[in-house]
Structure 1
C-alpha cells in the first residue's frame, strides 16, 4: 500500500511544509468578473487583496472541477499510489468534498478516502499534516478513525473575527446573518464552525474587545477539554494584516495559560479572504502532535 495525502488550497500550508511532507494540493478558484484565478497558482495573496480592494463588487469563488481531481488522481495512480486521503474545507460551505467524491468514482485502481474537515484554513491543514506524518506507521483504517476523532471540537477548533459581515452576507456563507441585520458595519462579529457551517457567536464593538473575547472562549475550551496541561498548537490567521497577527501572538505568549503552546502564523488566502474580507483575524488550536518544521 502506498498512500498519498491531498489537501485543498484553503488549508494554506507553505510550499516548504508540503514539499517536506509530500502533500499534494488541489486548488479552488477566485473569480473577478470574467477572470478566474487558481488559488496558490495564478494569483498571490497580496495580489488578491489589492485586486479585491479595487474591484467594483465582490469576487466569487468556486471549488475545483471534477476534471481537475480526475487529472490529479490519474497522475497519483501512475506514480504507484494505491490510496489517497484527501482533506477539504467543510462541506457545509463548499461543494469541494462532493466533487472529490465524484472524481474518486471515475478513476480505477486507486482508493480515495475523502475527509470533510468540517472547518477550513490551518486546522484543516494540520489534519493533512498529521496524516502525512503518520500514514506509514499506522493501518489506514486506524488512521482514518483517528483523524475523525482529531477533527472533533474537543481536540480542534477555530474562531474568526471580521471587520463586518458584508462579504459573508453577500456570499451566503453565514447561516444566521439575519441576527445581525441593521448592525453589519458597526460590529466585529466572532464566527465559529458549528456542524460544518459558519455561525456568528457574538457582536463586539471593537477588534481588541473581540480578540479578548476569543481568548476567553479558548481558555474556556481548554479548561473544559483538559488542554490546560497539554502541549497545544495555536495558529493566528490574518487577512492581509501580518502586523496585527504578530501583535496578537506576542500578547498570547505572555499569558501563563498558553505556556506549553506552540504558536504558528498563517493567513486567509484568496478563497477564504473573499468571504471574510480584509483585516480579518482567526485563532485556531489543536492538540495534535506534529513536526512543524517549515511553518
Structure 2
C-alpha cells in the first residue's frame, strides 16, 4: 500500500510543508472577464488584489474540472500509489470534494478517500499535515480518515471581513445577512457552520472585531494551552503580523503560523480580511 495526500490550492500549504510531506495539489482558479487563472500558479495574491481593485466587476471562481482531477489521480496511480487521502475545501462553497468522490468511478486501480474539510485555508492544511504524519507512522487508511473526521469536527476558524458585499455577490452568504451587515457599517465576524459560511456576530470596529474573535478562541480552548494555530490575511500582512504577536502572548505554548489567503478565498472574503484558526492537535510544523 502506498498512500498519497492530495489537497487543493485554497489550503495554501506552502512550499516548505508541501515538500516536507510530499503533499499533492490540484488548483482552483479565479476568472476575470472569462479568463481563468490558476491561483498561486498563474496569478499571485498580490497580482490578484491589484487586478480586483482595478476591475469594476467581482471575479468569479472555479473548481478543477473533473478531467483535471482524473488526470491528477491517473498521475498518482502511475507513480505507484494505491490510495489517495483527498482533503478539500468545504463542500458548501465548492464542488472539488464531489470531484474526489466521482473520480472513483473513472479511474480503476487506485482508491480516493475524500475528506470534506468543512473549512478552507490553513485549517485545511492542518488536516493534510496530520494525514501525512500518520502515513509516516504507518497508519492505515481507515485510521487516517477516522482521525481526520474527528479533527474536522474539533477545529475552528473565525473570519473578520471589512464588509459582506463580495460574499453576497458570490452567493456564499444569504442576501438578508449581507444587507444587514452593509446597513449597519459593521465588521462582520464569520465562521463555517455545516460546510457553509455564516455570519456569527457584528462588531463596530476592526479592533473590537479582533478582540471578539480572541474571546471566541478562549471559549474554544476551554483551558487548554497547547495546539496549533494560524493567523490569515487577505493582503493585510502588517496587521496580521501585529495580531499574531498579540495572540502569541495569550498562547505561548501554541505553535502559530501566518499565511496569506489565496485568490479564490480572497474573492469571497474581500481584501483586508483577517482570520484566526486553531486546532488542539499539536502538529509540530
Q: TM-score, normalised by structure 2?
A: 0.96
Residue number among 219, 229, 238 corresponding to 1:243 in the alignment: 238
Question: What are the Cα deviations for residues 170-205 of structure 1, in whole angstroms up to 9, with x where unaligned?
Answer: 001014x41342541611100000111100011111
Within 5 Å, give how 1:4-23 maps onto structure 2: 4-23=4-23
Q: Which runs of 4+ in 1 moved over 3 A?
A: none
Identify the residue that residue 211 of structure 1 maps to in structure 2: 210
CA distance in 2, matches of 1:191, 1:183: 11
Within 5 Å, give how 1:115-194 maps onto structure 2: 115-136=115-136, 137-152=138-153, 155-175=154-174, 177-184=175-182, 186-194=185-193
**What secondary structure sits across from 2:43 in the alignment?**
coil
Query: Is 1:222 the equivalent of 2:217?
Result: no
CA distance in 2, matches of 1:39, 1:159: 23
Distance 1:201 1:182, change over 3 A: closer
Query: Is 1:80 the equivalent of 2:118?
Result: no
Identify the residue that residue 47 of structure 2 maps to in structure 1: 47
Cα-Cα RMSD:
1.2
**What secondary structure sits across from 2:182 in the alignment?**
coil
Contact 1:229 1:260 in 2 (8 A): no
Contact 1:86 1:113 in 2 (8 A): yes
Query: Is 1:65 the equivalent of 2:60?
Result: no
**What secondary structure sits across from 1:47 in the alignment?**
helix
CA distance in 2, matches of 1:13, 1:205: 33
**What secondary structure sits across from 2:99 in the alignment?**
helix
Distance 1:19 1:203, change over 3 A: same
Identify the residue that residue 267 of structure 2 maps to in structure 1: 274
CA distance in 1, matches of 2:81, 2:158: 36
**What secondary structure sits across from 1:254 in the alignment?**
helix
Shift of 1:289: 2.6
Gaps of 5+ in 1: none
Question: What are the Cα deviations for residues 191-244 of structure 1, in whole angstroms up to 9, with x where unaligned?
Answer: 000111100011111111000000011101111xxxx23411110000001000
CA distance in 1, matches of 2:284, 2:81: 24
Q: TM-score, normalised by structure 1?
A: 0.93
**What secondary structure sits across from 1:150 in the alignment?**
helix
Shift of 1:132: 0.8
Gaps of 5+ in 2: none
Contact 2:86 2:115 in 1 (8 A): yes
Identify the residue that residue 286 of structure 1 maps to in structure 2: 279
Distance 1:2 1:183, change over 3 A: closer
